[in-house]
Chain A
Amino acid sequence: MMPTLLLMVRKDLTRKARAPLGLLLVLAFPIMFSAIIGLAFSTSETPRVYLLVENLDGGILGDALLSALGSEQMAQYFQVETVGEDGLERIRRGEGSALLRIPGGFTEDLVKGDPTTLQLIRNPAQGIMPEIAQQLTAVLADVLDSGSRVLRQPLDTLAPLLQKDAPDLDLATFSNITVAVYESLQGAGEFLFPPVIKISSVNLGQDAGLEDESPDTGFNVFQVFLFVFPGVSVYALFMVGDLAMRDILVEGEAGTLQRQIQGPVTPGMVLRAKAAFGASLAMISLLILSVIGGIAASEPVNVPAFLLLSLALVLAVVGTAAAIYGATGNVKRGSVVSSVLYLLLAFAGGSFMDVNALPGALRLVAPFSPFYWGTQGYRRLLEGGVSIADLLPSVAILGTTGMLLLLLGSVSLKRRMSRRGGL
């Protein structure tokens, strides 16, 4: 019964349109992320900002911020001079683009998790330069901020050690902190995509080995953007599929699923409709993302190949989510599993960085992640000069795993429904 299916999909799309926040956040993520990375790692000519810094904080995080601003990577954007009380006066005299004030107690506040404000005093006479200074310090502040949230637990352990009469760091405390840091990182993937780690590790003075990865030939913003964008978009699409398939369990908890089955429809029909809804939502998202990708792309994209790959990816996205929720049978458990699993698969599949930059073992498992095939496929499409045949492995693998997972998920969801008369 085709009309019933359409009816259900339309109902779900309307519901999504009424409460679109989750979807918008998921879609904003790849765009923001790629743009920030693009800005941060492109080496095309950006005028340098002459930044005065007044550090009123005596703690290590103030120093870390200062050294981050003065680090080699930041040297592309900033020329930093540490100043004393005369900073404001010098800005007034027009001797710098902006004055950054690190407030007293900055370290203490961050460690405690209290809000703290970095003050940027701009020199209006210098046009765009202070604007750039503000953008860049905002990114840095964000990194520090999310870092302190992610590292809440280790920071708590660390806090007593930062005091003047702190006890010596013994081995037990040290290993405690290490374990805590490790656990925090594990639970906090969102904040810790590689480029962020790079910047923050510079902050903490562990800058070994960073030079190799920093681009030394000129990349423009768009090139970096285009390299990062496909992978993050694939990740975002999996999140979209998750959002949609999760809805069948959300409806199960709300009772509307059972109510539909009480009407003249079968559980199978409800499931098919939800999968169709997931596919529609993923396609709409894909459309939005590909418009943006298309604008940034310099080469013409092979449209039939793009459509084929997208179709296969949508299948994989819906199938994976169906399998996860079929296996867990519960919104909370399912979304925890999927967020962890998607991060792992995205990392292993090279969605967040070049596969060749992955550690050796990970590089071997990468092809087992559907994220790998999606990301590779779109990257190649954007590079241009790709034929459908080139993408067939990606299409075949995504399509068949998608189908299989969808089948698996549907069977277990249907079993749950008939056993409990709902979900």
Chain B
Amino acid sequence: MFQVENLCKSYGEILAVGGISFQVRAGEIFGLLGPNGAGKTTTLSMLSGVLRPDSGRILFEGIDMFVDPIRVKRQLGVVPQEIALYEELSARENLAFWGALHGLKGARLRQAMDHILDRVGLAARSKDPVKNYSGGMKRRLNLALGLVHDPRVVLLDEPTVGIDPQARANILEVIRQVAESGTTVLYTTHYLEEAESLCHRIAIMDQGRILAEGTLDELKRQAGEEEIITIEGSFQVDAIEAGIRQGESLRLLSVEPGRAIISTGGSGEGAVKLLSQLFGTRIPMDRISIRPPSLNSLFLNLTGRELRD
């Protein structure tokens, strides 16, 4: 559906997106997972046609986004990361405007509005001015505005940021329903669990690049059998570097005073090897934790940083 080739975008000196390529297939939920500043929003802005890439191409069903933007944009629904609503207007009036902008009118528009208001659970308050809504309600309306015209593809930019678990569950449920009805979804998030539970395929993004891409299983396989061991204590960097013999099965991912993260080879041997090495040294340790392979360990393996920071 979307074919993205070698997309680059800088803001002055800052390289926000540095040459990424991926494909979004019809009917799937494609996740763009990455920490703050990874370039997710920048990527989405280009996919939605408001930001011109410095280089690279975006094809939507073979049509170049920037050759015929209006034609592509007609098929899209976009839900921006920052809530963007008309505060003076009611939910209904907001929906009516965005629906009509996409060519809905009359009974079809009314039906579409009723349907989406019901889905996001705002039907009862739909005539109140938006400025009286709670944060979670605004989030849900923000989502609804991108869906009201029943687009073929929705681009969702962290639609669950900053809301309570219940509203989040509602939003995720709506997205699942939308996907089930055949709409293609591109979903960005920095929550691992969301990407894992929602997306069919995931691209892990960091510092403007895609580090890995695939289904959850493929990515987990890529993470390998390796376990991630974190040790904490009152030690210095060089003590750790001297204390651990890195080799085929042990790899120091990141180390700072008081905290080191090490990945082990598969089959559980690595952890045993590491621990026996560590106990031979006099490195003062307070805590050791061992984590099984996961998306997070893959991210750690790839970047040396945790996704949750």
Near B by CB (< 8 A), chain A positions 1-59 give 4, 7, 11, 14-15, 18-19
A418 touches B98 (CB 8 A): no
**Quick check: B86 and A263 within 8 Å, CB to CB?**
no
In whole angstroms, how far apart are the Cα atoms of A258 and B48 in the complex? 10
Which chain B residues border A125 with CB–CB below 8 Å?
none
Known: A263-B73, A421-B51. A18 touches B101 (CB 8 A): no
Report B-chain residues with C-beta under 8 Å of the C-beta of A259. Answer: 78, 80, 84, 98, 145
| Chain B nearest Cβ from A268, distance in angstroms | 11
On chain A, the residues within 8 Å of B83 by CB distance are: 255
Tell me if A254 counts as interface (CB < 8 A to partner B). Answer: yes
Kindly state the separation between the CA atoms of A14 and B93 in the bound complex, as whole angstroms.
9
Q: Is the CB of A262 within 8 A of B49?
A: yes
Q: Taking chain B's interface residues, is the majority helix, strand, or loop, or is none over half, making it mixed?
A: loop
Task: Report yes or no: A421 in contact with B50, Cβ–Cβ below 8 A.
Answer: yes
The total of interchain contacts (Cβ-Cβ below 8 angstroms) comes to: 69
Q: Are B50 and A261 in contact (CB under 8 A)?
A: yes
Q: Are A262 and B78 in contact (CB under 8 A)?
A: yes
Q: Once the chains bind, are B102 and A256 in contact (CB under 8 Å)? A: no
Please determine whether B80 and A15 come into contact, CB atoms closer than 8 angstroms.
no
Set A4, A255, A266, A418: member contacting B80, Cβ < 8 A: A255
A290 CB contacts on chain B under 8 angstroms: none
* Cβ of A190 to closest chain B Cβ, rounded Å: 26
Asked if A264 and B88 make an inter-chain contact with CB atoms under 8 angstroms apart, the answer reads no
Say yes or no: is A422 at the interface (Cβ < 8 Å to chain B): yes
Closest to B82 in A: A255
Given contacts A11-B97, A255-B83, contact A422 B89 (CB under 8 A): no
Given A15-B86, A259-B80, A418-B52, A265:B101 Cβ within 8 A? yes
User: Within 8 Å CB of B86, what residues of A?
Assistant: 11, 15, 254, 256
Interface flag for A260 (CB, 8 Å) = yes
Q: Within the assembled complex, what's the spacing in Å between the Cα atoms of A359 and B163?
A: 62
Known A262-B50, A262-B78, A421-B51; judge A256-B85 contact (CB<8 A): yes
A263 to B50, CA, bound (A): 9
Given the complex of chains A and B, what is the CA–CA distance between A262 and B69 in angstroms? 9
Interface 1/0s, chain B 71-84, versus A by CB < 8 A?
A: 00110101010111
A260 to B97: give the CA distance in the assembly, Å: 10
Indicate if the CB atoms of A7 and B50 lie closer than 8 Å: no
Q: By the criterion CB–CB under 8 Å, are B98 and A263 in contact? A: yes
A7-B48 in contact (CB<8A): no
| Complex contacts, B100 vs chain A, CB 8 Å | 7
Residue of A nearest to B149 (CB): A263
Interface mask (A229-265 → B, CB under 8 Å = 1, otherwise 0): 0000000000000000000000000111011111111
B170 at interface (Cβ–Cβ under 8 A)?
A: no
Measured in the bound complex, the distance between the Cα atoms of B100 and A19 in whole Å is 23
B80 to chain A, nearest CB (A): 6
In contact, B102 and A263 (Cβ under 8 angstroms): yes
Min CB gap A10→B, angstroms? 9
CB distance from A257 to the nearest CB of B (A): 8
Q: Contact at A262–B97, with CB atoms within 8 Å?
A: no
Q: Let me know if B265 is at the binding interface, CB within 8 A.
A: no
A14, B89: Cβ atoms under 8 Å? yes
In the assembly, what is the distance between CA of A18 and CA of B128, in Å? 12
Q: Are B93 and A255 in contact (CB under 8 A)?
A: no
Q: Separation in Å of the B153 CB from the closest CB of chain A?
A: 12
Q: Report the separation of the CA atoms of residues A422 and B51 in the bound assembly, to the nearest whole angstrom.
A: 8
Q: Does B21 contact A (CB under 8 A)?
A: no
- Known contacts A264-B73, A421-B45, A18 near B89 by CB under 8 Å: yes
Query: Bound state CA distance, A254 and B50, in angstroms?
Result: 16
A-contacting residues, B42-62, CB 8 Å: 45, 48-52
- Determine whether the beta carbon of B101 is less than 8 Å from that of A7: yes
A263 to B79, CA, bound (A): 11
Most buried by A among B82, B86, B102: B86
In the bound complex, do residue B101 and residue A263 qualify as a contact, i.e. CB atoms below 8 Å apart? yes
- Residues on A with C-beta less than 8 A from B237 are none
Question: Contact: A258 with B89, CB < 8 Å?
Answer: no
Tell me how far the C-beta of A318 lies from the nearest C-beta in chain B, rounded to whole angstroms: 21
Distance, CA A266 to CA B71, complexed state (A): 11
Residue from B45, B82, B84, B102 in contact with A264 in the complex, judged by beta carbons closer than 8 Å: B102
Q: Which residue of A lies closest to B145 (CB)?
A: A259
A256–B98 CA distance with the chains assembled, in angstroms: 10
Residues of B within 8 A of A256 (CB): 84-86
Contact A262 B76 (CB under 8 A): yes
A421 CA to B9 CA, complexed, in Å: 12
Cβ A18 vs Cβ B50 within 8 A:
no
With a cutoff of 8 Å between Cβ atoms, the chain B residues found around residue A7 in the complex are 97, 100-101
User: How far is the CB of A370 from the nearest CB of chain B, in Å?
Assistant: 31
CA distance A266 to B70 in the complex (A): 8
Which residue of the partner chain A has the closest CB to B52?
A418
Most buried by B among A11, A15, A262: A262
Alpha-carbon distance between A250 and B248 when the two chains are bound, in angstroms = 58
User: Which chain B residues in 4-61 approach chain A with CB under 8 Å?
Assistant: 45, 48-52
Interface residues of B in 134-154 (CB under 8 A from A): 145
- CB pair B88–A18 under 8 Å, yes or no, is yes
Complex contacts, A420 vs chain B, CB 8 Å? 51
Q: Quote the shortest CB–CB distance from A11 to chain B (angstroms).
A: 5
A146 CB, min distance to chain B CBs, angstroms: 31
Known contacts A18-B88, A18-B89, A256-B85; A262/B73 CB under 8 A: yes
Give B contacts to A, CB under 8 Å.
45, 48-52, 69-70, 73-74, 76, 78, 80, 82-89, 93, 97-98, 100-103, 129, 145
18 A-B contacts (beta carbon < 8 Å)? A7-B101, A14-B88, A14-B89, A15-B88, A19-B88, A254-B87, A256-B85, A258-B45, A258-B84, A259-B145, A262-B49, A262-B76, A263-B73, A263-B78, A263-B98, A263-B102, A264-B73, A264-B102
Instruction: Give the interface of A toward B (CB within 8 A).
Output: 4, 7, 11, 14-15, 18-19, 254-256, 258-266, 418, 420-422
Q: Which 4 A-B pairs have the closest CB atoms?
A: A255-B84, A421-B51, A18-B88, A421-B50
